[in-house]
Amino acid sequence: MNGPSAHRRAHQQMRRAFTPVLVAVSLVASLAGCSAGATASGSGSASGFKPGVLTKKYSGTTLEVGLPNYQGMPKSTLAEFTKATGIKLHMQNPSYDVIHDKIVTAGAANTAFADVVYLDPAWIGQVGAAGWFEPLEKWVPSSTIKNDLGQSLFAYKGQTIGLPWNLDFRGTLWNMTLLKKAGINKPPTSYDELITTAEKLKSKGVVKYPVAEPLSITEGAATPWYALVRASGNAVLKNGKPAFQAGGAGAKALDLIRTLFSKQLIDPGSVNLTDQQVGQAFGNGDSAVMLSGGPAGLGYYAQPSNSKISSDQVTFTTLPTPDGSPSAGSVGLEDGMGIPKASTHKEAAALFVNWYLQEHQLNAAYAAAGLLPPNAAALKTLVSQGKLAGGQPLVDAAMGIKPIFEGGSPTWYSKFSSNVASMVQSVAVGSKSSGQGVAGLVSQVNALNAQQ
């Protein structure tokens, strides 16, 4: 019976060989569990923390800050924070879409990809319902929240989970130097005037495709339509219900885009272009009108390193309306920041958020990257010093900011946004009429509500 006994020995040898491995695996697994637990629980304690007081109490902490690649706070200004608090900053600056996916991945795993994280108002419905962000009332002085313009867009169920650091909203950017070459001295205010202006620019050979408008099925194609609807006086959604169709606002905006596209006043290649790409075309002087742009464009295109039109006169106005009446409101697209509940450095993160939103820092960001300060006092200072491109009219337009979604962004926002972008492209290329597009979107919204 040598065979079986040798077999048993072999098995015993294997068991001996495997035992340390199994122990190691168990250890790794349990350590992973411990580590996940630690990350998930975070410090969570605000004991002894005084909101808004710059202190060296958290000196030596390395704070992860995840803001998009266009955040423009100069390094020298950021260094002032480190000097005042001893908190080191590790800036992560991925693109907008990447940040979104990082938030979702980290949130689903009950961790945080950074201690201070970028937030878009459109995400508030989803991330608010998921409960991933700290109510900032606990961490930031009430004066900072009160002074921050547009903070209501970051409120979820009465709690502020994000605060704006860039007062972005939608208006129209006009390259007046090119418009004047076509004999136009004043930006149009109605849809018909806009079409006539674009036709003149094209027929006089000033630019081949006068209007810059993204039409790829991305968020960038949906935003101009939101902005046109909002300027006509309608919210896009009201408490989750369709509001864009009232008075034909949604259909009229689609008809405008369809007309501009069919007359080749918009580059046909826009069906493949994102908002960043059409922005580049505007900066290259390939188009004269950016139908839906942000005020930061004024400062951005004025810099020779960013554009070929730095010496041109670029003007920012509210969007045209169907009949030329004054815009009923600008779509607010503020960039915000929040503190994830899973952050392990909430106190340091809160110090940073509060510090970032003070006038001195916001003005530094404006000077460096043209990001409009979401702070009335900072805007007033810039206007009085003559440093604000666009001046008081820009501030007035900023005061007319209204949310795209009255009553808060729905949890199904992402699906809705894709549906809008798809509808805009379909109508623009003539696959659908504007009526069909609007009716289809109403049905989709009703279906999304019914699924809830």
Partner 1 sequence: MTDSERMQLSRREGVRSRWSLRAREVTSAYVLVTPALIIIALLIFFPAVQSTIDSFRQGDLTNPTAHNFIGLRNYLNALLDPSFLQAVRNTGVYIVVAVVVALLLGLLMAMWMQSLGGRARVIALTLIILPWAVPGTVAGNLWSFILNPTGSGLLNGVLESLGVIDQPQIWIASPLWGQVFIALSFCWGLVPLGAIIFLAGLESIPEDFYAQSYVDGATALQRFTSITLPLLRPALAIVLVNAAVSAIGIYDQVYVLAGFDPNKISLIGQTYLYAFRDFNFGLGYAASILTTVATTLIAAVFLKVVYREEQM
CB of 421 to partner 1, least distance (A): 7
As a whole number of angstroms, the distance between CA 152 and CA 164 comes to 10
CB of 168 to partner 1, least distance (A): 22
As a whole number of angstroms, the distance between CA 241 and CA 239 comes to 6
Identity of the residue, 28 or 53, whose beta carbon is nearer to partner 1 in the bound complex: 28
Identity of the residue, 192 or 286, whose beta carbon is nearer to partner 1 in the bound complex: 286
Q: What would the two tokens of residue 274 be?
A: 């994102």
Is 254:224 a contact under the CB 8 Å cutoff?
no
Identity of the residue, 212 or 364, whose beta carbon is nearer to partner 1 in the bound complex: 212
Identity of the residue, 316 or 416, whose beta carbon is nearer to partner 1 in the bound complex: 416
Identity of the residue, 125 or 242, whose beta carbon is nearer to partner 1 in the bound complex: 125
CB of 359 to partner 1, least distance (A): 36
Q: What would the two tokens of residue 204 be?
A: 């006089």
- For 14, what's the count of Cα atoms within 13 Å in the CB-facing half-sphere? 6
Identity of the residue, 254 or 348, whose beta carbon is nearer to partner 1 in the bound complex: 254
CB of 228 to partner 1, least distance (A): 20
Query: Which residues here bind partner 1, judged by CB under 8 A?
Result: 2-3, 6-7, 9-10, 13-14, 17-18, 21, 24-25, 28, 100-101, 104-105, 107-108, 125-126, 129-131, 216-218, 267-269, 271-272, 411-412, 414-415, 418, 421-422, 425, 429, 431
Identity of the residue, 317 or 444, whose beta carbon is nearer to partner 1 in the bound complex: 444
Coil, strand or helix at 394: helix
Dihedral, CA of residue 110, residue 113, residue 115 and residue 117, to nearest 10: -110
CB of 413 to partner 1, least distance (A): 9
CB of 325 to partner 1, least distance (A): 33
For residue 406, what is the enclosing H or E element? strand 405-406
Strand partners, 317: 172
Helix residue ranges, H only, 232-271: 249-262
Identity of the residue, 166 or 216, whose beta carbon is nearer to partner 1 in the bound complex: 216
CB of 310 to partner 1, least distance (A): 25
As a whole number of angstroms, the distance between CA 64 and CA 343 comes to 9
Is 341:161 a contact under the CB 8 Å cutoff?
no
Terminal CA-to-CA distance of the chain, rounded, Å? 70
CB of 350 to partner 1, least distance (A): 23
Identity of the residue, 46 or 130, whose beta carbon is nearer to partner 1 in the bound complex: 130
Which residue is listed with tokens 């920012």? Answer: 316
AA letter at 98? V
Is 335:164 a contact under the CB 8 Å cutoff?
yes
CB of 234 to partner 1, least distance (A): 25
| Sequential DSSP letters for 292-341 | EE-THHHHHHTSTTT-S-TTS-EEEEPPPBTTSPPPS-EEB--EEEE-BT
Identity of the residue, 9 or 204, whose beta carbon is nearer to partner 1 in the bound complex: 9
Q: What would the two tokens of residue 13 be?
A: 């040898």
CB of 158 to partner 1, least distance (A): 17
Q: In sequence order, which residues have a C-beta less than 8 Å from that of residue 372 and are 6 or more positions away?
A: 166, 167, 168, 295, 296, 366, 379, 394, 398
As a whole number of angstroms, the distance between CA 157 and CA 327 comes to 29
| Sequential DSSP letters for 328-388 | S-EEB--EEEE-BTT-S-HHHHHHHHHHHTSHHHHHHHHHHH-PPPSBHHHHHHHHHTT-S
